[in-house]
């Protein structure tokens, strides 16, 4: 691959951002009526189409290993490492089960945005106030036990340098997992940080085409997780997610080297 000139990267990214924002606005307006009437299946379908469109337009290739391991027998807590904003598009592209996102409770108070999130069945979580945060986690656990699968990034935020390993896991994800007492499915993502690297010191965040690998791990049953305390469960999930990263790194980091 020939090293791409910076001026081309800039033009390509500006045009692509304009297209992605237009597509996002289109799907946002399209699903709003369904969200207001809480037609959650229709909203989720629209969100999947949006995510697949972002992956296609950004020329992202997604390879999934062990998709047959996806648990389909009830609500699931999906726990994955977090590398990029494009992780969201990755999940919408390959995960064909219905799921919800957990989001800061303050976002639900924003007109239109909050209405749409509520209609889509997203789960609010309080931050800052420890007591309110725990209460919101318990409420979220009730929602999950009622049938709502969720995706959680236990790191809490994107890792600036995935090569140095994942960030420490937040406790909240595992408080929730223990309280909900449903199946847990660890998932590893690698390569999304090459699509849009974090902390770029530029006015326009660059987007690059590339390969993203996903590995779905064996589900952890409530019986299995019940034998572990919160800290043990966190350490176990971390080990499972980290295990394939070395091979993924060797496979995909050529993308970054070739880009220069």
Per-residue model confidence as pLDDT tens digits over 97-116? 999 998 888 878 877 777 77
What topology does CATH give the domain 6-259?
Glycerol-3-phosphate (1)-acyltransferase (3.40.1130)
Give residue 255's pLDDT: 53
Of 10-19, 172-181, 190-199, least confident by mean pLDDT is 190-199
| Structure token digits, residue 198 | 């974090």
* Mean pLDDT estimate for the chain: 88
* Torsion angle in degrees (nearest 10) through CA of 126, 130, 135, 137: 60
3 falls in which pLDDT band (50, 70, 90)?
very low
Domain boundaries, the chain: 6-259
Give residue 79's pLDDT: 97
Of 51-60, 203-212, 216-225, least confident by mean pLDDT is 203-212
């Amino acid at each position: 691959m020939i090293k791409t000139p910076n001026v081309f990267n800039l033009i390509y990214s500006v045009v692509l951002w304009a297209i992605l924002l237009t597509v996002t606005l289109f799907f946002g307006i399209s699903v709003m009526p369904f969200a207001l009437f809480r037609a959650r299946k229709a909203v989720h379908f629209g969100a999947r189409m949006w995510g697949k469109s972002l992956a296609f337009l950004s020329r992202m290739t997604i390879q999934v290993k062990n998709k047959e391991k996806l648990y389909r027998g009830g609500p699931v807590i999906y726990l994955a490492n977090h590398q990029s904003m494009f992780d969201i598009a990755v999940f919408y592209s390959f995960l064909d089960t219905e799921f919800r996102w957990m989001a800061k409770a303050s976002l639900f108070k924003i007109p239109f945005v909050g209405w749409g999130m509520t209609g889509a069945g997203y789960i609010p979580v309080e931050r800052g106030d420890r007591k309110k945060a725990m209460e919101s986690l318990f409420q979220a656990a009730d929602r999950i036990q009622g049938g709502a699968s969720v995706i959680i990034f236990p790191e809490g935020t994107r890792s600036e340098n995935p090569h140095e390993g994942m960030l420490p896991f937040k406790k909240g994800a595992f408080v929730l997992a223990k309280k909900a007492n449903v199946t847990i499915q660890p998932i590893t993502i690698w390569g999304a940080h090459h699509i849009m690297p974090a902390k770029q010191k530029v006015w326009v965040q660059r987007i690059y085409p590339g390969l993203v690998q996903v590995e779905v791990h064996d589900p952890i049953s409530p019986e299995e997780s019940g034998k572990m305390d919160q800290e043990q469960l966190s350490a176990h999930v971390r080990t499972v997610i980290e295990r394939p990263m070395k091979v993924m790194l060797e496979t995909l980091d050529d993308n970054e080297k070739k880009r220069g």
